[in-house]
């Protein structure tokens, strides 16, 4: 059993607070993705779980054991680094075998495990080479194989795909998902790429400025963002945000449309809807078309709504022209409301 | 149109050519300054004693080993050579023994006073040795280190230490810390990670620092002359006998000192360049 519990972990570097009292529980064999922009603290949190940094406060538990005072080698983890950290003075075989030799496993077992993981990562033919003779993608596979060969309770991955070109990233993402699911290991994966997060995760923890803003399944994070940041960060094209003013009887007015909304004392709140959740025509928001981008499967229309930018994804058959006045009807169950000050969902 | 644009371009080209000539002339002068004494040394060391003392001097060595054999057989030379080797080896061991850990600490750890430490290490080179020689000699006599190999080796270590620290510092800084971190996650303690991952990668550079420390000690004259009496190193020996010895002995002795140093420095030039920041193939 390798569930991970992060309790009240905070990390300060001098005057700068990288993590503010973070709490997170990861179930056994769960694939958790820490998602966020650069500087949000996701790598720091991963390194604290790995034991490469000590938290200023808080506890880390792995598999029911408290580990925050233990060095990395005693935590039952294996890590894949962003720059792979493949040892240049050893062959691929010796790289993958490194951790196994440190555990003093018998030669037969070492060979069995190395060959098995090399086959899994499709690098059996490279075992006698040195890392200087490998491409970036091949080195990345060696790094993953090296971690998998350890058969750890927990695998930690720090943006392993970010140094690969786009096509390779796509292929490796699918491969990684298959390999990690089959290995039944608890995984923590750090990335800034929201597509990677959506595709790989059982659960996503969205981080912003040292805090976890929301941690839920990919679909949940996409449909019910708990904060404005989550809504704007996930989804391409991004979510639209329009100010809404209070009307009578608990309704709100947005761009000429009156809707029933949440109860709030504030005179103005934010209305949010995703570009694919509006339909042209009918009772809708008043919009003036500015840019039309026919993308093939659908058309991306950028409009002026209440003076602000609004993106809508319409059917590719929709006949719109620049300068048209449109009515964009939002699907009622997909509307989200946010508090303008706290940025939380209402 | 073409006339107007030709003259200023030609003017700049002329200035460039003059600048180039100056550069070439300066480079040639510097090369002659360095290479001429070495050339004379080798020519005369490989000529017979008579040819060395004759006039006019030869341009090419006659490859007569007369001067060199006289040198080796001269009383006291063999022992002096041996003393040089011992002191240089001790210097090498001490300089690396203290310098490499310091270089590692500077590259991997952040501690208060780090910048000051680096500065101080560099500043020890600014001390003129003649100024320290007499107080050192007095202190050595008092502590009984006078005229010992280890005493002289300590002084030489002080001279070689800045280089050892700085070369190993740039060496360790060039090895990504992720390699050590990966080793820690794979079951290594800090020391094991150093031994299995960092050391194999740093060994060529550490060997280069060691050779450099050896060479510094090998060539050092002043402290050797002041601090050793009976157990002279080769440099001190030649200095002492400078007045009475024949010309060919001086040339042979000079060659015995310079040639090993040249060979060693040439062998480790890549690491010295890296320390001084020149890109090198």
pLDDT band at B279; cut points 50, 70, 90: very low
Q: How many CB atoms lie within 10 A of CB A240?
A: 24
Task: Look up tokens 């039952």; give the residue.
Answer: A76
> Within 10 Å of residue B9's Cβ, how many Cβ atoms?
9
A239 secondary structure, DSSP code: P
Do A102 and B188 count as a contact with CB atoms less than 8 A apart? yes
User: Between chains, do B184 and A85 touch, taking CB under 8 Å as contact?
Assistant: no
Do A78 and A184 sit in the same domain of this protein?
yes
Contact A78 B178 (CB under 8 A): no
A87 touches chain B (CB under 8 A): yes
Beta bridge partners of A190: A34, A158
- CB interface of A with B, residues 139-158, below 8 Å: 146, 150
Identify the band that residue A333 occupies on the pLDDT scale cut at 50, 70 and 90. Answer: confident
Contacts of A87-91 spanning 24+ positions with Cβ under 8 A = A87/A131, A87/B179, A87/B182, A87/B183, A87/B197, A88/A130, A88/A131, A88/A132, A88/B201, A89/A130, A89/B197, A89/B200, A89/B201, A90/A130, A91/A127, A91/A128, A91/A129, A91/A130
Closest partner residue to B187 (CB to CB) among A83, A87, A99 is A99
DSSP A91: B
Chain A contact set for B182 (CB, 8 A)? 79, 81, 85, 87, 146
Tell how many helices (H) and how many strands (E) occur in chain B.
Answer: 14, 0
**Is some CB atom of chain B closer than 8 A to the CB atom of A76?**
no
Instruction: Examine the domain organization and report whether B102 and B203 are in the same domain.
Output: yes
Residue B28's domain comprises 2-45
Longest dimension (CA), chain B: 86
Q: Which residue carries 């519990």 as its tokens? A: A5
Average pLDDT for B107-132? 85
Asked if residue B8 and residue B98 are part of one domain, the reply reads no
Give the domain-ending residue among A233, A254, A288. A233
- A155 and A19 share one domain: yes
| Residue A344 resides in a domain | no
| Residue A190 pLDDT grade (very low, low, confident, very high; cuts 50, 70, 90) | very high
Label each residue of A253-277 as H, E or C: EECCEEEECCCCCCCEEEEEECHHH
| Cα distance between residue A69 and residue B165, in whole Å | 33
How far apart CA B245 and CA B242 sit, in angstroms, is: 6
Q: Which of A197, A218, A233 is the last residue of a domain?
A: A233
* Residue B176: Cβ within 10 Å count: 14
Using an 8 Å Cβ cutoff, are B45 and B254 in contact?
Answer: yes
Cis amide linkage into residue A227, ω under 30° from 0:
no
Report the C-alpha gap between A117 and A112 in whole angstroms. Answer: 9
Residue, of B242 and B126, whose pLDDT is higher: B126
Domain count, chain A: 2
Q: Within this chain, do residues A72 and A188 fall inside the same structural domain, yes or no? A: yes
Yes or no: say if B77 and B240 are a contact pair by the CB < 8 Å rule. no
Does a structural domain hold residue A297? yes
> Is B229 part of any domain?
yes
Task: Read off the pTM.
Answer: 0.79
A and B: number of Cβ contacts within 8 A: 54
Residue A268's pLDDT band (boundaries 50, 70, 90)?
confident
Pairing of strands A240-246, A251-254: antiparallel
b/e per residue A110-149 (b: at least 16 CB within 10 A): beebbeebbebbebeebbeebbeebeebbbbbbbbbbbbb
Q: Is residue B184 included in any domain, yes or no?
A: yes
Is residue B172 located within the same domain as residue B248?
yes
Task: Assess whether A229 and A244 both reside in one domain.
Answer: no
In a shared domain, residues A87 and A214: yes
How confident is the model over A194-218, as a mean pLDDT? 92
pLDDT reading at B274 higher than 70: no
Task: Give the max Cα distance, chain A.
Answer: 78
Inter-chain touch A102–B192, beta carbons under 8 Å: yes
Inside any domain, residue B85 = yes
Q: Are B178 and A83 a contacting pair at CB < 8 A?
A: yes
Task: Indicate whether B242 belongs to any domain.
Answer: yes
- Are residues A218 and A285 both part of a single domain? no
Q: Is residue A229 part of a domain?
A: yes
pLDDT band, residue B281 (cuts 50/70/90): very low
Amino acid B61: pLDDT: 67
Q: What's the Rg (C-alpha) of chain B?
A: 25
- Rounded to a whole number of angstroms, the distance from the CA of A102 to the nearest CA of chain B is 6
pLDDT at A299 over 50: yes
Question: Measuring CA to CA, how many Å separate A155 from each of A110, A180, B175?
Answer: 19, 9, 25
Q: Say what the pLDDT of residue B10 is.
A: 66
CATH of the domain at A315: 2.40.50.140
pLDDT of residue A35 exceeding 90:
yes
Is residue A102 less than 8 Å (CB to CB) from chain B? Answer: yes
Give the domain extent around A159: 4-233
| Number of domains forming the structure of chain B | 2
Radius of gyration of chain A (CA): 24
Q: What residues of chain B lie within 8 A of the CB of A77, using their CB? A: 185
User: Chain B residue closest to A85 (CA)?
Assistant: B179
* Shared domain check, A267 and A189: no
């Amino acid at each position: 059993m390798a569930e991970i519990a992060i309790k009240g972990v905070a990390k300060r570097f001098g005057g700068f607070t990288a993590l503010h009292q973070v709490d997170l529980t990861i179930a056994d064999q769960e694939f958790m993705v820490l998602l966020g922009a650069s500087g949000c603290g996701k790598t720091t949190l991963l390194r604290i779980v790995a034991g490469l940094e000590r938290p200023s406060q808080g506890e880390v538990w792995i598999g029911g054991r408290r580990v925050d005072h233990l060095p990395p080698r005693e935590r039952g983890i294996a890590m894949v680094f962003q720059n792979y950290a493949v040892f240049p003075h050893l062959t691929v075989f010796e790289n993958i075998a490194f951790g196994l030799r440190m555990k003093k496993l018998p030669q037969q077992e070492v060979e069995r495990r190395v060959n098995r993981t090399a086959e899994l990562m499709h690098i059996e033919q490279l075992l006698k080479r040195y890392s200087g003779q490998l491409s970036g993608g091949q080195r990345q596979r060696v790094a993953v194989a090296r971690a998998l060969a350890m058969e750890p309770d927990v695998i930690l991955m720090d943006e392993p795909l970010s140094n690969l070109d786009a096509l390779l990233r796509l292929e490796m993402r699918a491969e990684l998902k298959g390999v990690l699911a089959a290995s039944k290991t608890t995984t923590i994966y750090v990335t800034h790429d929201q597509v990677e997060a959506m595709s790989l995760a059982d659960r996503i923890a969205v981080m912003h400025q040292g805090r976890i803003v929301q941690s839920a399944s990919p679909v949940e994070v996409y449909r019910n963002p708990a904060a404005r940041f989550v809504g704007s960060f996930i989804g391409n094209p991004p979510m639209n945000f329009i100010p809404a003013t209070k009307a009578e009887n608990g309704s709100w007015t947005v761009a000429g449309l009156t809707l029933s909304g949440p109860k709030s004392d504030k005179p103005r709140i934010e209305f949010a809807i995703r570009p694919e959740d509006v339909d042209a025509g009918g009772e809708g928001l008043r919009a003036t078309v500015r840019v039309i981008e026919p993308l093939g499967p659908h058309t991306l229309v950028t409009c002026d709504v209440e003076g602000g930018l609004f993106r809508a994804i319409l059917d590719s058959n929709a006949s719109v022209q620049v300068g048209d006045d449109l009515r964009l009807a939002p699907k009622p169950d997909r509307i989200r409301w946010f508090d303008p000050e706290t940025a939380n969902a209402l | 149109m073409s006339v107007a644009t030709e003259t200023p371009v030609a003017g700049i080209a002329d200035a460039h050519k003059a600048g180039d000539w100056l550069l070439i002339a300066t480079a040639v002068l510097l090369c002659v300054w360095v290479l001429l004494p070495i050339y004379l040394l080798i020519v005369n060391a490989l000529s017979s004693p008579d040819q060395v003392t004759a006039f006019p001097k030869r341009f090419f060595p006659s490859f007569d080993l007369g001067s060199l054999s006289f040198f080796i057989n001269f009383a006291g030379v063999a022992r002096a050579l041996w003393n040089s080797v011992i002191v240089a080896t001790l210097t090498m061991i001490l300089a690396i023994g203290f310098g490499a850990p310091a270089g590692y600490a500077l590259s991997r750890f952040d501690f208060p006073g780090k910048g000051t430490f680096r500065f101080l290490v560099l500043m020890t080179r600014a001390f003129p040795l003649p100024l320290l020689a007499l107080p050192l000699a007095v202190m050595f006599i008092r502590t009984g280190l006078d005229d010992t190999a280890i005493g002289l080796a300590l002084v030489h270590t002080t001279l070689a230490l800045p280089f050892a620290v700085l070369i190993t510092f740039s060496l360790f800084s060039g090895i990504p810390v992720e390699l050590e971190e990966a080793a820690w996650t794979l079951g290594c303690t800090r020391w094991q990670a150093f031994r299995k991952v960092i050391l194999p990668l740093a060994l060529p550079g550490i060997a280069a620092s060691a050779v450099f420390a050896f060479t510094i000690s090998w060539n050092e004259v002043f402290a050797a002359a002041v601090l050793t009496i009976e157990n002279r190193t080769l440099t001190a020996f030649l200095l002492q006998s400078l007045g009475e010895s024949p010309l060919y002995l001086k040339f042979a002795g000079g060659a015995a000192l310079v040639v090993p140093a040249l060979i060693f420095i040439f062998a480790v030039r890549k690491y010295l360049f890296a320390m001084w920041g020149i890109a090198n193939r």
